[in-house]
Structure 1
Amino acid sequence: MRAAVVTAFGQPPRYQQYPDPRPAEGEVLVRVLAAGLHPRVRSGAAGTHYTSDQTLPLVPGFDGVGRTPENTRVFFGGLKAPNGSMAEYIAIPADQLVPLPDGVDDIMVAAAMNPAVSAWLALTHRAELKPGEHVLILGATGNAGQMAIQLARLLGAGTITAAGRNAQALAKLPALGADHAVSLDTDDDTVARRLAQAAANADVVVDYLWGHPTEVALAALTSARTDAAHRLRWVHVGAMAGPTIALPGATLRKADVDFRGSGQGSVSPAGMRAAHRDLADRLPTAGLTIDTLTMPLRDVESAWTANTPTGTRIVLVP
């Protein structure tokens, strides 16, 4: 079969011949219809994701949409290197296949499910968001952040504050459900003041940034809360701004902050599969939106280096 193949970390995959998958017992041979190119795919292909075992060659791709031999259209996710979804075929354990409802588009599902699952797990499994609670989303201008806004609204959040750097993307977030939009593209004092004004009493923070922006936001919120003992559930999902933070011990003494992570390892495989099923069932009525750019799999090298607008997801089609 033809596939995108990574033969050296740090280099884009190439479109070339690759051995056909041979399903093991309990697996199904799926014809791939669409696969999203998102940060989890890139980090896996670069060998920098925390689950990487440095195996080469590998086919990138963490999830996708496909058809079974019985012509059932399915979503599949949670793939492990070296066998990813950016190929004509892939062998998938049967219990990882999620039938898709009629009327949902292959491209939209391939683009949206990864950031949607990321946001869904953070909001439900990790933050245990309750209707009426106040949510702050750090890094809200990216795909996952935009999905977090939409899903927080779907789950009944009372107030949603969206914070990010990209001014053009930030301006679009109220239409997705954000009540407040805070720019992070200014000096620390201004960012801290704006975050404190908009989200001092947040119940949940969904954090795709980490690094310095988290340090500023954490200091701002814990210093401005009306009731310091009211628990703040801080869910770390991504590290787009840096892998570490400096955490003064006094921060943990002056306010009730509950740090949690959300990702592979902090959510069980069964929980991940349940999230896939929950979202697939909701797709026809959820009204989720995402900007997409569809490209043929043979152009994977160009796709890998394409300069797309913030919030646009590339989907590769074999």
Structure 2
Amino acid sequence: MRAIDVVDGSLTLTDLPDPVPGPGEVLVRVAAAGVNRADLLQRAGHYPPPPGASPVIGLECSGTVVALGDDVEGWQVGDEVAALLAGGGYAELVAVPAGQLLPVPAGIDLVDAAALPEAVCTVWSNLVHVAHLRPGQSLLVHGGSGGVGSMAIQLAAAAGVRVLTTAGGPERCARCEELGAEAAIDHRAEDVVERVRALTEGRGVDVILDVLGGGALGRNVAMLATGGRLVIIGTQQGRRGELDVGALLARRASVHATTLRARSLTEKAAIVADVCERAWPLIADGTVGPVVHARLPLDQAAQAHELMDSGAVFGKVLLLP
């Protein structure tokens, strides 16, 4: 099969042996793979795959089932699926644990379905399972124009949550509001802390979904309401920051930090099952949808990473074998 290999930090199209599905796995012919910021980190040597995972980059894909390993139930050859991966997406074929497959929602193009698994599972596991976000509460999404951010806005708004978000520039802010954000704050032109305080009449927000990391830690705590939850899922502004424990105590607030890729097969299967039951219907009925910025052929993986690095992407970039 053709796949993308990393050689000295460069992405190269090469031929690799076809994967063989093991017990409990399904072989998928890839229609498209989603490009994520974690892929850029892996290319740079900072985010290696977990033990046993494919070294090929790619944390999500869509495609068609072409073979079943032993002990697989509920799937058959020919099924159109979206898949959450620990690796292997930038290829023509990928072996996937059956518990990490989702049916392509009705009305969603097979290619565009590749924009869904990583974003939806990340958002759902963090906002629902970790932060326990509930209807009527408030949420601040950092980076609402990103793949995860654009999905977080949609899912939270659909659940009856008041959504605030940040984005860079008036056009991107306007698009975030079209997706369901009550207010989008231009972090290039506005003081985010002051604006959040004004929008919440000084109360702060119940939950912050943060991709910035250490550099934003102090500002994030300052924007939490009493009992607020800060959930960190990225480190775009660094791995280290200073935490004012007194401010955290005064708010009776909490800080959580999570990753999805390194979780066990059992944990991932539980997340995927819950997403399938409770989030997938919102996609099937059109309430929530994939946000795709560009679709590029697999041999332009390097260009896709450059596009992601440029900051110009709104939503997802997809690679098509």
Cα distance in 2 for partners of 1:137, 1:32 equals: 31
Cα distance in 2 for partners of 1:308, 1:197 equals: 28
Number of equivalent positions: 302
The amino acid of 2:133's aligned partner reads L
C-alpha deviation, 1:66, in angstroms = 1.4
Counterpart in the other structure of 2:85:
78
Counterpart in the other structure of 1:113:
117
> Quick one: structure 1 residues 210 and 150, their matched pair in 2 at CA, closer, same or farther if it must change by over 3 Å?
same
Secondary structure of the 1:243 match is coil
Which consecutive residues of structure 2, in runs of 5 or more, have no partner in the other structure? 67-76
Cα distance in 2 for partners of 1:275, 1:237 equals: 20
Paired residues for 1:292-307 under 5 Å: 292-306=293-307, 307=310
Counterpart in the other structure of 1:140:
144
Do structure 1's residue 93 and structure 2's residue 97 form an aligned pair? yes
CA contact 2:65–2:81 (8 Å) conserved in 1: yes
The amino acid of 1:78's aligned partner reads L
Of 55, 60, 78, 2:57 maps to 60
Cα distance in 2 for partners of 1:18, 1:304 equals: 21
Q: TM-score, normalised by structure 2?
A: 0.84
Counterpart in the other structure of 2:231:
235
Counterpart in the other structure of 2:216:
213
Detail structure 1 runs of 4+ shifted over 6 Å in the superposition: none
C-alpha deviation, 1:164, in angstroms = 3.1
Q: Which string of whole-angstrom CA distances, capped at 9 and with x for unpartnered residues, describes residues 13-41 of structure 1?
A: 21111111122233222211110111122
CA contact 1:41–1:61 (8 Å) conserved in 2: yes
C-alpha deviation, 1:110, in angstroms = 0.8
Cα distance in 2 for partners of 1:32, 1:289 equals: 17
Cα distance in 2 for partners of 1:182, 1:172 equals: 12
Cα distance in 2 for partners of 1:109, 1:155 equals: 21
User: Could you say what the CA RMSD is over the residues aligned between the two structures, in angstroms?
Assistant: 2.5
Cα distance in 2 for partners of 1:269, 1:312 equals: 23
Cα distance in 2 for partners of 1:304, 1:86 equals: 12
CA contact 1:33–1:65 (8 Å) conserved in 2: yes
Counterpart in the other structure of 2:14:
16
Over the matched positions of the two proteins, sequence identity in percent amounts to: 27
Counterpart in the other structure of 1:178:
181
Cα distance in 2 for partners of 1:6, 1:111 equals: 22
Cα distance in 1 for partners of 2:52, 2:108 equals: 36
Q: Which string of whole-angstrom CA distances, capped at 9 and with x for unpartnered residues, describes residues 160-192 of structure 1?
A: 2112334331122221111122222247xx433
Do structure 1's residue 3 and structure 2's residue 12 form an aligned pair? no
C-alpha deviation, 1:5, in angstroms = 1.1
> Quick one: structure 1 residues 266 and 16, their matched pair in 2 at CA, closer, same or farther if it must change by over 3 Å?
closer
> Quick one: structure 1 residues 257 and 300, their matched pair in 2 at CA, closer, same or farther if it must change by over 3 Å?
same
> Quick one: structure 1 residues 58 and 143, their matched pair in 2 at CA, closer, same or farther if it must change by over 3 Å?
same
> Quick one: structure 1 residues 45 and 76, their matched pair in 2 at CA, closer, same or farther if it must change by over 3 Å?
same
CA contact 2:99–2:268 (8 Å) conserved in 1: no
Cα distance in 2 for partners of 1:218, 1:144 equals: 21
Q: TM-score, normalised by structure 1?
A: 0.85
Which consecutive residues of structure 1, in runs of 5 or more, have no partner in the other structure? none
